[in-house]
Amino acid sequence: MIETRADVTLPVPPEEAFAVVADIEHADWLPAIRRLRHIGGPSSGVGARYEVEAGLVGRHLRGVLVCTELTPPSRMVLTLEEGLDLTLEVTIRKVVGGCKVVMSARYSVSGRPFAGAVELASQGPARRETARACEQLAARFGRKDDLKSAAS
C-alpha cells in the first residue's frame, strides 16, 4: 500500500474551502482527473457516484469514485469502487488567518503482475500529484505561506 500526503494553508474560512473541495463534479483542482461525470446517488454528499477518468504514471485509468464520508466543513473521503484500490481523504481545520487543508491518498495495485514494482514506481509521481492538487486548490484562493507573519 502506498500513502501520499500534502497540505496547504488557505486564507479563507474552512467552510469556504470545504465548499470547493466537496464540489466533486467541478474538481478542476485535481490535476490527474481528466473527466468526472455524476452517474448515481445524490448530486453531492455520501453516496454520490462519479465515473472518473484519470491520468497517472503514464496510464489512463477509469473507475467509479464514490463519496463515502462527508462531514462539513472538516472531512471528505472518496473511494474508487472500480479500478485501482484507492482512497482519497481531505481534512480541513481552522488555523490563524484561514484554514489548513490536508489531502492524502492510499492505494494499492495488488493482484496484478509486478504489483510491488508498479507501486514503487508510482510512489514519486503520486506524491507529486497530491502536492500539485494542493497547489492548484491554493491558486483558487491565493496562498498564505507564512502563518507567523499572519499572527503578528
The fold adopted by the segment(s) 2-146 is Alpha-D-Glucose-1,6-Bisphosphate; Chain A, domain 4 (3.30.530)
Task: Return the DSSP state at 96.
Answer: T
More confident position, 48 or 111 = 48
What residue spans of 50-151 are helical by DSSP H? 115-141, 147-151
User: Which SS3 state, helix, strand or coil, does residue 36 take?
Assistant: strand
First-to-last C-alpha distance (Å) of the chain? 42
In angstroms, how far is CA 87 from the centroid of its own chain?
Answer: 9
Pull the grid cell for residue 61.
485509468
At residue 121 the predicted structure's pLDDT band, cuts being 50, 70 and 90, is low
C-alpha span between 19 and 11 (Å, rounded):
14
Of 50-54, 71-75, 108-112, give the range with the top mean pLDDT. 71-75
What residue spans of 6-83 are helical by DSSP H? 14-22
Predicted confidence (pLDDT) per residue in 16-65, tens digit: 999 999 998 888 777 778 888 999 999 889 999 999 887 765 567 788 98
Is 147:11 a contact under the CB 8 Å cutoff? no
C-alpha span between 79 and 48 (Å, rounded):
11
Q: Rounded mean pLDDT of 98-124?
A: 71
Least confident span in 57-61, 86-90, 119-123, 136-140: 119-123
- The candidate with the shortest Cα–Cα distance to 47, out of 17, 91, 18, 77, is 77
Domain boundaries, the chain: 2-146
